[in-house]
Structure 1
Amino acid sequence: MDQLAIQTFTSPVVLFFVLGLLAAFARSDLAIPEALAKGMSLYLMAAIGLKGGVAVSKSGFDTTVLSALGAGIAAGLLLPVFAYVVIKKFGKLDRINAGAVAAHYGSISVVTFVTAVEILEFQSKPAGGYMVAVMAAMESPAILSGLLLARGLGSQSGQSTKEMLHEVAFNASVVLLLGAFAIGLIGGADGFADVSPFFEAGFKGVLCIFLLDMGLIAARRIMDSRAITWRLAVIAIFLPIVNGAVGTLVGVGIGLDAGSAAALGVLCASASYIAVPAAMRLALPEADPGIYLTMSLSITFPFNVLINIGLISAFASILTGNPGVSP
């Protein structure tokens, strides 16, 4: 476990995130242009989708893949229920804000997943390519579950519900991830070979700069936020620990290898700060973004990147008896 922790903290992607945190806390004027950050996000989602599709084109869809998809969808529906109870009882939030926060903790963070995939590869425990499809499948169920917990779809107008469902099904991350996954699946290894120099060679470097930017944003939001109580801060650490452990246990239980089980655990532990906030702004405009964004982006995201990915990886290794091999 100590070796896994060392591998996590010596990974360049984690160190660049730490650099961003330190620069922001030191009040440096270091900044990444917004247009560049958006471009890097698009690149990372396209790359991970493509590589996942190519991997599945080699292995095909089998019972393991279908079981992982089923587990991911079930987690997306059920994790917000657990989060809602904790947030409502211990966090002392009202129904609307509790439902909005719960939706974030049942959905996923693409960047957390991409970071975990990189760390798992660094630890010689690569996740299966099909986990990209699982990631995409987990995003929308959590949004619907959170909205039902907050007030139910029946209280919204027909137009509002239609717009919300469109936002959930066709938000940029879902479209790009699934689209790139389909392209990789159709093109296969031969088709990917033509574009691999672009998507392979630059991937780690782009991820480093992107996480530098995320570190800057997370630290600055922490310094500016006044909406977070100590109870909510505790929940933002507690939920990813419990959800990550449950997700890893389920992954091992359905027969996933150590890397894929850890990836499922990370997906369950992560909290959305892109797709779900967009949906909440549309469907629950009265919910406070200062609460759900600060919890997911400024507390849970750094905790997952710096600590929890390593814990989940170690837990998966213990459960499967596969410690990985140092590169």
Structure 2
Amino acid sequence: MQIMMDIGTTVLDQLQKPTLSFLLGGMMLAALGSKFEVPQPVYKFIVILLLLKVGLGAGMSVRDADLLSLVIPALAAALTGIAIVALGTRALARLNGVSKIDGMATAGLFGAVSASTLAAAMAMLDADGIAFEGFIGALYPFMDIAALVTAVVLGRMSAQHTASQNATSDGTVTMGGGTGGAAFHVNRELVRGILVDTLRSPAISALLLGLALGVLAKPDVVYQSFYEPLFKGLLSILMLIMGMEAWSRLSELRKVAHAYVLYGLTAPLVHGLIGFGLGLIAHHLTGFSAGGVVLLAVMAASSSDISGPPTMRAALPEANPSAYVGASTGLGTPVAILSIPLWVWLANLVIGI
């Protein structure tokens, strides 16, 4: 009973913080039918600034970081992304009304990372005085790319397998290659294309640019005078936008199986536990901080809202966007953000903050 009271107190306290309160405020505005809106160019500008800030901070920390202390968490991040896609694909395949390709696309988005959710968690930890490694932002691409590549490769291999079963009498196939070697060649080219497209996406590009500038240049002055003071204010507006977007996306779930509602509500918590567990291993191996474990859990619990959807639309055009975007943005994102206090509480219980 005391544990439940402690969790409830922690969650209530965090709901009163600007990050979560602005998210709930945006959902309330959308629910009430408000005409309030933030122009799309402004939204994109805010996202780019936040990602540059995260990248710059991570890059400046990487300069002084011990290689081992960075490699182990990065490996944990990549493994988390792959594990989430593998688990999600299996789980969704067992649910009624979910096609195999839609399940893989959905699992891919849930395995990838939400930059805004990560930024929100970092702001919340800063506000509570919880320390974490500055290079955390550098872990974003490892989990994001690993998850997207895994989901799309599995999806394309599934499509090729289906096509090979529909081979014509003369040995040709309707899609892909008929032989194992040809299929391997197609998949290798596919992986290369996904990597290039993902690295060129606005979110990853901004993050990697900030990371490179943080490592190779000396942006400390502009970081402290421009990016740092703007961070929390811009984040609050982003949370407002995300709250409104999440509520509007809920209507898309009416077009697909109810299984996506179940998955969207429960998957972030299961995925967060996977990230938390691997972060705990990194903690014991390298001294990875409790705050770092929390942020790895948050990245795992989040679902991609920037780089993922366009990647899936391009690489898996057969998949239904109403299913994977509705489940991730409409349900997954709010649940992931609202679960941040849970990971803080769990880290304090297991590690001590």
Which is worse superposed, 115-124 or 227-236? 227-236
Is the counterpart of residue 227 in structure 1 residue 259 in structure 2?
no
Is the counterpart of residue 311 in structure 1 residue 342 in structure 2?
yes
Distance 1:164 1:254, change over 3 A: closer
Distance 1:225 1:234, change over 3 A: closer
Instruction: Determine helix, strand or coil for the equivalent of 1:131.
Output: helix
Whole-angstrom CA distance in 2 between matches of 1:77 and 1:281: 20
State the shift of 1:224 in Å: 5.0
Distance 1:98 1:38, change over 3 A: same
Which structure: larger Rg? 2
| Amino acid across the alignment from 1:54 | M
Contact 1:98 1:150 in 2 (8 A): no
Instruction: Determine helix, strand or coil for the equivalent of 2:318.
Output: coil
Deviation readout 1:168-199 (Å, 9 max, x if unpaired): 232121111011012112235xx311342210
Contact 2:98 2:259 in 1 (8 A): no
Whole-angstrom CA distance in 1 between matches of 2:252 and 2:350: 40
State the shift of 1:15 in Å: 1.0
State the shift of 1:295 in Å: 0.6
Matching residue within 157, 160, 185 for 1:152: 157
Partner of 1:181: 211
Q: Which residues of 2 match residues 47-66 of structure 1 at below 5 A?
A: 47-57=53-63, 59-66=64-71
Matching residue within 276, 282, 288 for 2:314: 282
State the shift of 1:225 in Å: 4.1
Distance 1:289 1:253, change over 3 A: same
Matching residue within 38, 53, 64 for 1:32: 38
| Amino acid across the alignment from 1:222 | L
Partner of 1:293: 325
Distance 1:253 1:49, change over 3 A: same
Matching residue within 222, 246, 250 for 2:278: 250
Matching residue within 231, 241, 257 for 1:213: 241
Matching residue within 240, 248, 261 for 2:268: 240
Whole-angstrom CA distance in 1 between matches of 2:25 and 2:16: 13
Question: What is the root-mean-square deviation of aligned Cα atoms in Å?
Answer: 2.0
| Amino acid across the alignment from 2:17 | S
Is the counterpart of residue 267 in structure 1 residue 267 in structure 2?
no
Whole-angstrom CA distance in 1 between matches of 2:195 and 2:222: 36
Structure 1: 5+ residue stretches without partners: 323-327
State the shift of 1:5 in Å: 2.0
State the shift of 1:163 in Å: 4.3
Partner of 2:120: 115
Instruction: Determine helix, strand or coil for the equivalent of 1:194.
Output: helix
Q: Which residues of 2 match residues 4-43 of structure 1 at below 5 A?
A: 4-43=10-49
| Amino acid across the alignment from 1:278 | P
Distance 1:91 1:198, change over 3 A: farther
Matching residue within 86, 92, 99 for 1:94: 99
TM norm structure 1: 0.91
Distance 1:224 1:282, change over 3 A: closer
Whole-angstrom CA distance in 2 between matches of 1:61 and 1:154: 43
Is the counterpart of residue 70 in structure 1 residue 75 in structure 2?
yes
State the shift of 1:208 in Å: 0.5
Matching residue within 215, 226, 229 for 1:201: 229
Number of aligned residue pairs: give it.
Answer: 318
Instruction: Determine helix, strand or coil for the equivalent of 1:140.
Output: helix
Whole-angstrom CA distance in 1 between matches of 2:90 and 2:223: 46
State the shift of 1:153 in Å: 8.5
State the shift of 1:110 in Å: 0.6
Deviation readout 1:216-264 (Å, 9 max, x if unpaired): 1111121354224332211112211111112112212221211000001
Deviation readout 1:280-299 (Å, 9 max, x if unpaired): 11111110000000111010
Structure 2: 5+ residue stretches without partners: 1-5, 161-175, 178-185
Partner of 2:165: none
Structure 1 runs of 4+ with >4 Å offset: 156-160
| Amino acid across the alignment from 2:143 | M
Whole-angstrom CA distance in 2 between matches of 1:163 and 1:66: 25
Which is worse superposed, 225-234 or 140-149? 225-234
Instruction: Determine helix, strand or coil for the equivalent of 1:298.
Output: helix
